[in-house]
Amino acid sequence: MTVAVAYAGGESSKAALRIAVEEARRRRMTLVVINATLGSDYESPRFTGPESIRDLENRLRGSGVNYVIRQPVSTDVAEGVLDEAERVRASLLVVGLRRRSAVGKAILGSIAAQIVLDARVPVLAIPPAMVEGD
Q: Name the residue type at position 30.
A: T
pTM of the model: 0.85
CATH number, domain of 67, equals: 3.40.50.620
DSSP 8-state secondary structure symbol assigned to residue 9: S
pLDDT at 26: 97
CA 42, CA 98: separation in Å to the nearest integer? 23
**Which has more pLDDT, 92 or 41?**
92
Residue range 52-88, pLDDT digits in tens: 888 899 999 999 999 999 999 989 999 999 999 999 9
Q: Quick one: pLDDT band at residue 128, thresholds 50, 70, 90?
A: confident
Owning domain of residue 92 = 2-132
CA 71, CA 50: separation in Å to the nearest integer? 11
Residue range 5-28, pLDDT digits in tens: 999 888 889 999 999 999 999 999
R_g over Cα of the chain: 14
pLDDT at 108: 47
Section 97-110 average pLDDT = 61
pLDDT at 103: 54
CA 72, CA 13: separation in Å to the nearest integer? 17
pLDDT > 70? residue 51: yes
Phi, psi of 3 (to 5 degrees): -110, 125
Q: In sequence order, which residues have a C-beta less than 8 Å from that of residue 72 and are 6 or more positions away?
A: 34, 36, 37, 80, 81, 83, 84
Region of residue 33 (phi > 0: left; psi between -120 and 50: alpha; otherwise: beta): beta
**Which has more pLDDT, 104 or 60?**
60
Q: Say how many domains are in the chain.
A: 1
pLDDT at 107: 44
